[in-house]
Chain A
Amino acid sequence: MKKIYIGAETIISPLGEDVRKNFAAIRDNRSGITLISNAGFNDDAVYLAKFLTVTPTFASLIAATLNLVSDQLDPTIVSSGKTILIVSSTKGALDQDISDQFGKSMTVITEQFGLKNQPIVISNACISGVLAINAARNFIDAGLYDHAVVVGCDLISDFVVYGFQSLFAISDKPCTPFDTLRNGITMGEGCGAVVVSNTASIFNNSPLGLLPGTTANDANHISGPSRTGEGLYRTVKKTMEINNLVADDFDFISAHGTATVFNDEMESIAFDRLGLNHVPLNSLKGYFGHTLGAAGVIETAASMQMMRENLLVKSLGFEEQGTTKELNIIKKNTTADLNTILKTASGFGGGNASLVIAKR
């Protein structure tokens, strides 16, 4: 198996305009979630992790993120003929053009950065980000490209807020993943990026290792999680098997943890079936909200920062175990050697995805 690297992680979110500020916020257990008046369908106030002082567009946020990525790399990489840009998103530039949510933005980015290869948009609901990072690794492993820049970006719109309200899925307080009193998601917005490469020397800071990941469908319901966690169980099991990993090899799990009653219960069942109950676990949704197609990339980037700092960050909003299967949810920041971590995601359409990052 080829050694493939991941690094140059960055985040722009309501918590800050670069990865350093974002990590400082989560290290301080500070949330980006605030109560936004008149945000709901009936002009009700809704808790959201929303940009308060700026209103970026989809393309402008991706461009700002790509500039931050370029600063952490050999400057020729982003526009190299050996590089592919993979964007993960659910709703793209919906507020600007509902009939073409991605095409125009991708053209703008391609021209602005002089990209040589047509960017690929992965739009696979809430697993988009993890899937995009896995796809990046697959492309490089197959020798099609040497480098991939993976950008996850989604913005809050009336469209998604009203939609999740119509499903009665939005929490009436900042979301509390895995807690006994959790009652729904808090939407978030932002942009994250990582660079996946076969060449360690392109990175200014030493990269981490990205192992192969997988996806699996629940084959159960288009908008509800499986009661047995089948798809999540299957993707993590496959990922563990192809990497010859056992439960004890993991130092941390960055779970999906949306804070809906059924999702978090499903995850607890899947992790229990996998014998992963004891592994320290958090959901970062209490900090960033649920950033939909960006979530997998933002949360992977934040988890990479945790690995670099050897710090298990508290699962914000969690007080008391609220799932039938017990999990080792991180109650306060704790120093630990984080050598091998698991990132998972689950979403509408029955998708589940997992990836593993390891230090060299």
Chain B
Amino acid sequence: MSRITAYCHLNEEYCSVNGAILAERDKESHDSWFKQLYKEQEFAYPKFHKMDALSQAGFIASELIKRANPKIVNGYADDEIALLFGNRFSSADTDSRFRTSYTENGAPSPALFVYTLPNIVLGEIAILNKWYGENMFVVLPKFAPEFFVNYTEILISTGSKAVFCGWLDITADRTNVFVFLVESEAEEGIDCNVPNLREYSGI
């Protein structure tokens, strides 16, 4: 039985892990919300500061899940953890910034251009963890529990032993992130099925 063994929510107001609030946004801060989290949670990964918001969100949520479930770090071979992420608007926020770089700011920015693909977040997580497993990024009109349950089962039946799943809706005025870890041989956790995903996602 595949089970969800840890999950993380990140929205405009707060960040929670396994349903417990870990941090709340300080709206007075000069730092972005994700940078606040980076500092407050004492992450030490300077590449974070080069990432766009989509990759920062994926970084924070996946690292917090690892902290909540540290045995996954050494519990799997380097190609046994798959990444299955999706959202509604692809990399639209970064795409608009890149377009502004050449329409208003003089020249196309290569540092922005490399983030104008939604799957870059998967690459960032793979690089950080040295994970060589399966990757897929999908664009769907809304969070689809059936898709995540079905494709997670497919990945597990074809050799992956754990799947990091994520729904990363990040736009200029909206943050709605739900990342969850599914493990195929977990003894404890939440059964990975459609009603549970619907309930725990809160989306």
Query: What residues make up the interface of A, taking CB atoms closer than 8 Å to B?
Result: 41, 90-92, 94, 98-103, 106-107, 118, 120-125, 131, 135, 138-139, 141-142, 144, 158-159, 162-167, 212, 214-223, 230-231, 234, 238, 242, 348-351
User: Can you list 26 A-B pairs, Cβ within 8 angstroms, ordered by A?
Assistant: A41-B102, A41-B107, A90-B117, A91-B116, A99-B89, A99-B171, A100-B89, A103-B88, A107-B141, A120-B147, A123-B90, A131-B136, A162-B102, A162-B108, A163-B116, A166-B109, A167-B114, A215-B134, A215-B136, A218-B123, A218-B132, A222-B115, A222-B123, A230-B132, A242-B158, A350-B122
Q: Indicate if B29 sits at the interface (CB-CB under 8 A).
A: no
The 10 closest A-B pairs by CB, nearest first: A349-B123, A163-B113, A121-B139, A217-B126, A162-B108, A166-B108, A166-B110, A350-B123, A223-B114, A349-B119
Neighbour of A348 across the interface among B123, B147, B159, CB < 8 A: B123
Q: Indicate if B67 sits at the interface (CB-CB under 8 A).
A: no
A222-B114, A351-B123 are known contacts. Are A123 and B131 too (CB-CB below 8 A)?
Answer: no
| A92 partner residues in chain B, CB cutoff 8 A | 90
Neighbour of A98 across the interface among B92, B110, B137, CB < 8 A: B92
Q: How far is the CB of A222 from chain B (nearest CB, A)?
A: 4
Q: How far is the CB of B113 from chain A (nearest CB, A)?
A: 4
A123-B139, A163-B98, A350-B123 are known contacts. Are A138 and B158 too (CB-CB below 8 A)?
Answer: yes
Total of A-B residue pairs, C-beta within 8 Å: 160
Query: What residues make up the interface of B, taking CB atoms closer than 8 Å to A?
Result: 78-79, 83, 88-90, 92, 95-96, 98-99, 102, 107-110, 113-120, 122-124, 126-127, 129-141, 144, 147, 150-151, 153-154, 157-159, 171
A98-B96, A100-B89 are known contacts. Are A125 and B119 too (CB-CB below 8 A)?
Answer: yes
- For the complex, give the distance between the alpha carbons of A219 and B135 in Å: 11
B150 and chain A: residue at smallest CB distance: A144
B116 and chain A: residue at smallest CB distance: A163
Q: How far is the CB of A187 from chain B (nearest CB, A)?
A: 13
- For the complex, give the distance between the alpha carbons of A107 and B122 in Å: 27
B110 and chain A: residue at smallest CB distance: A166
A94-B95, A118-B144 are known contacts. Are A142 and B123 too (CB-CB below 8 A)?
Answer: no
Q: How far is the CB of B88 from chain A (nearest CB, A)?
A: 7
| A223 partner residues in chain B, CB cutoff 8 A | 114
